[in-house]
């Protein structure tokens, strides 16, 4: 049996999330496993680095699977893409050692939350960005974001349905990029809780709109009460853009995405 890692990109608009659910519910995992099983000529089960919710996109998802089918890496890529729907793509495939695990070998994750800050909603990118019609004070949002960097108990920023054993996570960086009417919130942490980025985005947008002061982000964090935070931001603007692993696994390094963002955010 050989272990193979894949880099996956998907538009989450028409999926009920990553993880396979009951029959008739469309998920990314279900589509990917069906496509890979046709290429392998046996049933394939994949393990992902991080499950995403309904409507959330991925440009840097990583999975692994085991197969004894004698296939070249380009055959896994081309064969899978031939059998996948247009809203899922295999971007790369590499053989990895048996010790590699898409989830447990990861040392950090990176998400991007894209906000379109304009008086009128977008038509063409309505499912790829979150629209906020109120003018946002980016400086105030950056000041608020700074309170969340470091090792903290993120109970107040997790979903009440989150099943993670511990709310303690380390936020390596929380950065806001501004390009005209587009704001990109980039969150880099060792791991994330359910709805954590969307709840952070909700708090920062409330601060940016002038509803709350910048220190409110810290007050919410220290209060450890989800009910005291902002409403969970919509899923449409959220992207899983990168999973980082130890260098010894030598996985490909791809553009962070989404690919329609300016070039200086694609490194």
Give catalytic residue positions: 53
Burial of 27 (0-12, 13-18, 19+ CB in 10 A): buried
What whole-number distance in Å separates Cα of residue 42 and Cα of residue 200? 42
Paired residues of 3 in beta bridges: 66, 96
Phi, psi of 62 (to 5 degrees): -125, 135
Name, in order, each residue with C-beta under 8 angstroms of 17's C-beta and a sequence gap of 6 or more. Answer: 27, 28, 51, 52, 53, 54, 56
What b/e sequence results for 215-252 when a residue is b if at least 16 CB atoms lie within 10 Å of its CB, and e otherwise? Answer: ebbeebbeeeebeebbebbbbbbbbbbbbbbeeeeebe
């Amino acid at each position: 049996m050989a272990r193979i890692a894949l880099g996956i990109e998907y538009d989450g608009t028409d999926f009920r999330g990553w993880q396979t659910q009951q029959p008739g519910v469309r998920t990314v995992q279900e589509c990917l496993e069906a496509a890979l099983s046709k290429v392998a000529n046996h049933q394939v089960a994949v393990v992902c680095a991080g499950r995403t919710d309904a409507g959330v996109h991925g440009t840097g998802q990583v999975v692994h699977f085991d197969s004894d089918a004698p296939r070249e890496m380009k055959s896994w890529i081309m064969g899978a893409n031939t059998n996948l729907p247009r809203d899922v793509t295999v971007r790369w495939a590499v053989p990895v050692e048996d010790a590699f695990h898409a989830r447990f070998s990861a040392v950090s994750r990176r998400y991007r939350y894209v906000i379109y800050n304009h008086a009128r909603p977008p038509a063409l990118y309505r499912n790829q960005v979150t629209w906020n019609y109120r003018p946002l004070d980016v400086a105030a949002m950056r000041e608020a974001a700074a309170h969340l960097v470091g090792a903290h108990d993120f109970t107040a920023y997790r979903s009440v349905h989150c099943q993670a054993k511990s709310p303690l996570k380390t936020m390596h960086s929380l950065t806001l990029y501004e390009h005209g009417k587009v704001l990109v919130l980039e969150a880099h942490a060792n791991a994330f809780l359910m709805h954590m980025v969307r709840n952070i985005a909700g708090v920062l947008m409330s601060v940016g709109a002038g509803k709350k002061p910048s220190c409110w982000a810290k007050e919410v964090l220290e209060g450890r009460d989800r009910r005291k935070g902002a409403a969970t931001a919509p899923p449409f603007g959220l992207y899983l853009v990168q999973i980082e692993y130890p260098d010894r696994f030598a996985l490909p390094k791809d553009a962070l995405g989404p690919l329609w963002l300016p070039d200086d955010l694609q490194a």
